Chains A and B, each alone.
Chain A
Amino acid sequence: MKKKIGVYICHCGGNISDYVDVEKVRQAVEGDEGVILSKTTMFACADSNQKEMVDDIKDRELDGVVVASCSPKLHLLTFRAVVERAGLNKYNYVHANIREQVSWAHSDNKMGATEKAIQIVKAAIAKVRNTESLEPVIVEATNAVAVIGAGIAGMRAAIELAEAGSQVYLIEREFFVGGRVAQWDDLCLTEETGKELITRLYDQVMSQKKITLFTGAEVIENSGSVGNFNLKVKITPRHFKLRCTEETLQQAIDVCPVEVPDEFNFNITTRKAIYHNYPSEYPQLPAIDMKNCTRCGECEKVCPNIDFSQKTEYLNLKVGSILLATGFDPYEPKKGEFGYGEIDNVVTFPQFKRIVHYCDDKLVYKGKEIKNIAYIYCVGSRQVDGENKYCSRYCCTAIIHTAITVKKKYKGIHNYHFNRGIRTYGKAEVWYDESSRLGDIYLQSFEYDPPVVEKSGTQTIVRIKDMLTIDKEIEVVADLVVLVTGMVPRQDNSIGNLLKVPRGRDNFFNEIHMKLRPVETVIDGITIAGASQGPKNIMESINSGLAAATKSFSLVNSGELALEPTVAKVNLEACEWCGKCDEACPYNAFEKVETGGKFIAKVNSAVCKGCGMCLPVCPTNALDLIGLTDEDVESMIDALIPNI
């Protein structure tokens, strides 16, 4: 039982004290059992107050401390660190939230708010009376990181981690690296093409001894936790032994009778079952797509390097941290959305990029030369009725840049931009400026009144009520309609589900704190980078890849990790393994083990987060939480509702 408790009640610069009478709260608790010091403070978290707390703890030899302030999400760690600096075990600190739970929630009732604050602080004092000193759980951390996805974000992060000194496993699901950027030629904000950028990064990846690259590889199982994840990786064979010569490869491709839509070109072309995305891509070894291969064996006859005997391999990897850089999918318009799939000259922006790639001196699509291009913005983004409420960020800039490229590359191009307010933020504004100077026409509509694409005879017409010319109805006859499609999260979220990484409202991977911790997730040890966390251009993706690399590296670098000791504990006598706890646990922390002739539940304290989900489901009451025992909770309830 604590005898020397200090209590601090924070004004939060008015955030609390505008609604809660903090002095009254102080007076109400100063006489509580064990409380020998009680103070109010303008900003409890400010350096000066922290200094004062350290002095108080030392001078008055406090053995328990309570700060009543904002949410523990913000400052629990701050104040634990304060008591630790004063030489007290940090688990003798208890946090009371009187801002989110009181002043902000009851700004209409000051009296009631003050009453509630008093009770919450009293409950915290009741808890601190019973706290015990605890030591962190120390686990070894493997100095290795799995980077999932070898797009630009993943490759750049892998290079960084290897240079810093970690072992890196770079795991790419496709047979080729580079992700989306390999599909774009000209890029905005740089002279370099997508292919050149990928080449540069790939060369660096291959020159790093500490990076092992797996292609055609997917993580299929995951166990363990921060410091020690065990991953099972499935590696699909390419069915090629060595790099074959251009000649035999070409022959093999020629004889392959299978023809399927080429996803690399967003299905505007076809490819064979033997394929490479483009000549000299990386790794420079073609692959056979076994989903479509009929095993006719024709290719084997002309190319000696084909090997159908290669088997799927499985590999177990142990890593300290996982960096997810799985990127995005381009939004796929619904059939009929702005004529997509119904009118033959309506394409998406990614398809347009590939069309431009294949056209040298004339822009031709489906045999027809293109002069008038209509770009319809925000397709799949900023939806009024659909799910995607967000703006895809990259597209205004990228499409304007592409439109300029097209205008300069081919003769007689007219660009019409059907937009919803151009978002060329930052330095990209200069492209918008340049495109206007080059004579591109901008027409704008509101969200609720989008442009219409229609077929009229042989012509494709785009019609808009243009708010820039006082809602005049304007029609453009377009040779090609480009739907400026946004970014959506990877439709196949199997990896997110496997690793239990939460997704945000927009369905992209969610960071732990939007403002201050944009690359960390609630799953300790798993960081997120690039467009998997939300739409980004290349520079932003690289920045986030590098930032995530730093965070992952700092976890595995020192070789060991200190984890919270506030985890579930099993009472060996009372437990009669029924598995209910295992079902309730969101983190897979339970294991069924045999001791003393019976099966019981065992908690992996490196995995358990102390969330308490298991406690109420245990039929024999065999579970307790270290640091928040039933006794603690009962004493807090007594303090909260003293009259019952």
Chain B
Amino acid sequence: MSIQKQMKTLEYDVLVVGAGIAGGESALNLADLGYKVLLLEKELSIGGKMILLSKVFPTLDCAACITTPKVSEIARHPNITIFTGAEPQKILKKGSHRFEAVVLQKPRYVHVADCTGCQLCEEACPVSVTDEYQYGLVGRKAAYIPFSIASPRAAAIDIDNCTLCGACERACPTKCIDFTQTPEEFLVKIKSVVIATGFELFDPLKIPRYGYGKYKNVITSMQMERELAPTRPFNTVLRPGDGKMPDNIAYVLCTGSRDKSVGNPICSQICCMYSIKQAQLLMGALPMADITIYYLHIRAFGKGFNEFYVQAQDMGVEFIKGKVGKITGKENGNLVVRYEDIKAGTVKEAEHDMVVLSVGVLPNQGISGVFENEELQLDPFHFVNQVDLMASPAKTSIEGVFVAGTASGPMDIPDSILSGGAASAETTSYLRKESL
């Protein structure tokens, strides 16, 4: 296998792929011990899913407020180099403690160091498209800052939608927009790799009977997360269909989880709790609203979780043990939920003015294909396989490659931090073995 000559060559101790909370924690621990880390993030900002959440269960800490210090610590650390908009194309194992990766960085068309985040380019840009960082709830421009607490907080040009009109270039006071940027490839030599590529959300279009995509007031939990976040798009909770404030909201748990018909038999471990959290937040934001949670089992297993669940019951959230079969829309935008009420032993219908689908956690499978000469095994559910689950949970099928966070299975933030800590610990002792 030969790697092109003209690529710029970089050397680090560790390559961390994915800058969510798990990758971030691993990178920080390793950097604190003096190792040089290259942290790759395919998105325009580091922080993963967590930076986009509203508040977190069960402490109800504001997610932005606890993520941003972590994120700026990562961004500032002298031993960490961050590439955003960058993904490994291939990773080769060259021997013990020797890996080579080809990293592709997509152009941002903005010189990040010069961008002040003034947003004048955004104002100038005439193109409007849906905003993926607000999960499609609102629009953004083709010249845009991903979101207000992004790191780096710098503009980017969405070249696929850009008409090359040049308005942003003219508006930019620091002249940091540069349409001549091209994709760049780097050859990165490292001693060890940490996979922290996180998870993907179940796409509810795969269950047409729930009406997602057809009825505007059926949204996903991640969209609700955005509606409740401090950097929220509407500044209050609204029905996307007509802008009305909802007052009778339903949650459908296990959407795309524990469901063999969509190919995902396992439980996603977080959706019960984030739904209970959102229910509590909604009761604060919309004091008059009724919240109903349709569930099969409530997985309130972690520290403080069961207490949090009981608190939601005491606050008046209605929990109905039942499987939702179908959701149909009414003319006024309301939704009829047809469900099997397990306790009553009958099929029932109930009307709600907004339905939130608590979508599950799916594996992010792409990374295994990047390893070319050794196989990165996946488990039966397509998460990165933990080859020594009981004694070394961060070990993968390739010696020197470790896994952190939801890349190995569903888990919440503290478990991701523990797993990130475990991955950095095992990387440390692996690196020590080389120097001995």
Tell me whether B65 and A74 are in contact (CB under 8 A).
Answer: yes
**Contact partners of B56 in chain A: CB under 8 A:** 515
A495 CB to nearest chain B CB (Å): 20
Cα–Cα, bound, A619→B409 (Å): 59
B384 CB to nearest chain A CB (Å): 13
Tell me whether A519 and B71 are in contact (CB under 8 A).
Answer: no
Most buried by B among A48, A165, A190, A554: A48
The listed residue (A534, A538, A546, A557) touching B426 by CB distance below 8 A is A546
Cα–Cα, bound, A48→B145 (Å): 12
With A190-B389, A429-B265, A553-B428 in contact, is A78–B306 under 8 Å at CB? Answer: no
Tell me whether B432 and A554 are in contact (CB under 8 A).
Answer: no
**Contact partners of A396 in chain B: CB under 8 A:** 301
With A390-B306, A393-B301, A543-B418 in contact, is A43–B66 under 8 Å at CB? Answer: no
Residue interface bits B385-414, CB-to-A below 8 A is 1, else 0:
010011111100000000000000111011
Cα–Cα, bound, A74→B65 (Å): 8
Binds B, one of A292-300, A338-346, A403-411, A467-475: A467-475
A26 within 8 A of B: no
Q: Which of B331-368 contact A (CB under 8 A)?
A: 342-345
Cα–Cα, bound, A519→B425 (Å): 13
A527 CB to nearest chain B CB (Å): 10
Tell me whether B391 and A200 are in contact (CB under 8 A).
Answer: yes
A324 CB to nearest chain B CB (Å): 15
**Contact partners of B298 in chain A: CB under 8 A:** 421, 423
A161 CB to nearest chain B CB (Å): 9
B152 within 8 A of A: yes
> For chain A, which range describes its interface: under 10, 10 to 19, 20 to 34, or 35 or more residues?
35 or more
The listed residue (B231, B419, B432) touching A164 by CB distance below 8 A is B432
Cα–Cα, bound, A471→B73 (Å): 55
B153 within 8 A of A: yes
Tell me whether B390 and A197 are in contact (CB under 8 A).
Answer: yes
B24 CB to nearest chain A CB (Å): 10
Q: Which of B410-433 contact A (CB under 8 A)?
A: 410-411, 413-415, 417-422, 424-426, 428-429, 432-433
Tell me whether B310 and A425 are in contact (CB under 8 A).
Answer: no
Tell me whether A430 and B391 are in contact (CB under 8 A).
Answer: no
Interface size on B, residues (CB 8 A): 80
List the B residue with the shortest CB-CB distance to A389. B307
**Contact partners of B69 in chain A: CB under 8 A:** 45, 74-75, 77-78
**Contact partners of B344 in chain A: CB under 8 A:** 470
With A15-B230, A189-B389 in contact, is A518–B409 under 8 Å at CB? Answer: no
A81 CB to nearest chain B CB (Å): 7
With A160-B429, A550-B425 in contact, is A516–B417 under 8 Å at CB? Answer: yes
Tell me whether A390 and B307 are in contact (CB under 8 A).
Answer: yes
Tell me whether B306 and A389 are in contact (CB under 8 A).
Answer: yes
The listed residue (B72, B152, B418, B424) touching A45 by CB distance below 8 A is B72
Cα–Cα, bound, A506→B321 (Å): 28
Tell me whether B297 and A422 are in contact (CB under 8 A).
Answer: yes
Cα–Cα, bound, A310→B70 (Å): 53
B123 within 8 A of A: no
Residue interface bits B284-324, CB-to-A below 8 A is 1, else 0:
00000000000001111111111100100000000001000
Q: Which of A477-513 contact B (CB under 8 A)?
A: 504-506, 508, 513
List the B residue with the shortest CB-CB distance to A551. B421
Tell me whether A546 and B342 are in contact (CB under 8 A).
Answer: no
B84 within 8 A of A: no
The listed residue (B32, B301, B321, B420) touching A554 by CB distance below 8 A is B32
The listed residue (B153, B235, B425) touching A160 by CB distance below 8 A is B425
Residue interface bits A207-231, CB-to-B below 8 A is 1, else 0:
0000000000000000000000000
A-B contact count (CB 8 A): 219
A61 within 8 A of B: no
A542 within 8 A of B: yes
Q: Which of A70-117 contact B (CB under 8 A)?
A: 70, 74-75, 77-78, 81, 85
B174 CB to nearest chain A CB (Å): 13
Tell me whether B71 and A470 are in contact (CB under 8 A).
Answer: no
Tell me whether A543 and B76 are in contact (CB under 8 A).
Answer: no
Tell me whether B390 and A543 are in contact (CB under 8 A).
Answer: no
With A48-B117, A470-B345 in contact, is A382–B306 under 8 Å at CB? Answer: yes
B68 within 8 A of A: yes
Cα–Cα, bound, A47→B76 (Å): 9
The listed residue (A201, A390, A433, A546) touching B425 by CB distance below 8 A is A546
A514 within 8 A of B: yes
Tell me whether A47 and B418 are in contact (CB under 8 A).
Answer: no
The listed residue (B68, B310, B390) touching A43 by CB distance below 8 A is B68
The listed residue (B153, B299, B303, B391) touching A48 by CB distance below 8 A is B153
A586 CB to nearest chain B CB (Å): 24
B373 within 8 A of A: no
With A164-B425, A470-B343 in contact, is A13–B29 under 8 Å at CB? Answer: no
A254 within 8 A of B: no
B381 within 8 A of A: yes
**Contact partners of A78 in chain B: CB under 8 A:** 69, 72-73
List the A residue with the shortest CB-CB distance to B67. A516
Cα–Cα, bound, A24→B436 (Å): 62
Residue interface bits B135-158, CB-to-A below 8 A is 1, else 0:
000000000000011011100000
**Contact partners of A540 in chain B: CB under 8 A:** 415, 418
A232 CB to nearest chain B CB (Å): 29
B258 within 8 A of A: yes
Q: Which of A426-472 contact B (CB under 8 A)?
A: 426-430, 433, 467-471
**Contact partners of B281 in chain A: CB under 8 A:** none
**Contact partners of A593 in chain B: CB under 8 A:** none
Tell me whether A538 and B345 are in contact (CB under 8 A).
Answer: no
**Contact partners of B75 in chain A: CB under 8 A:** 47
B221 within 8 A of A: no
A173 within 8 A of B: no
**Contact partners of B415 in chain A: CB under 8 A:** 540, 543
Cα–Cα, bound, A430→B386 (Å): 17
Cα–Cα, bound, A389→B305 (Å): 10
**Contact partners of A187 in chain B: CB under 8 A:** 390
With A189-B389, A468-B342, A543-B421 in contact, is A514–B414 under 8 Å at CB? Answer: yes
**Contact partners of A548 in chain B: CB under 8 A:** 421
Give 18 A-B contacts (CB < 8 Å), ordered by A residue: A14-B235, A15-B65, A43-B68, A43-B149, A75-B69, A165-B432, A197-B391, A201-B391, A422-B297, A426-B409, A427-B409, A429-B267, A519-B421, A534-B303, A539-B386, A542-B422, A544-B418, A553-B33
Contacts A46-B151, A515-B417 aside, 19 further interface pairs with beta carbons under 8 A come to A12-B62, A13-B230, A46-B72, A47-B75, A152-B390, A163-B432, A423-B300, A425-B267, A427-B266, A430-B266, A467-B321, A514-B303, A515-B413, A517-B417, A538-B390, A543-B393, A543-B418, A547-B422, A554-B33
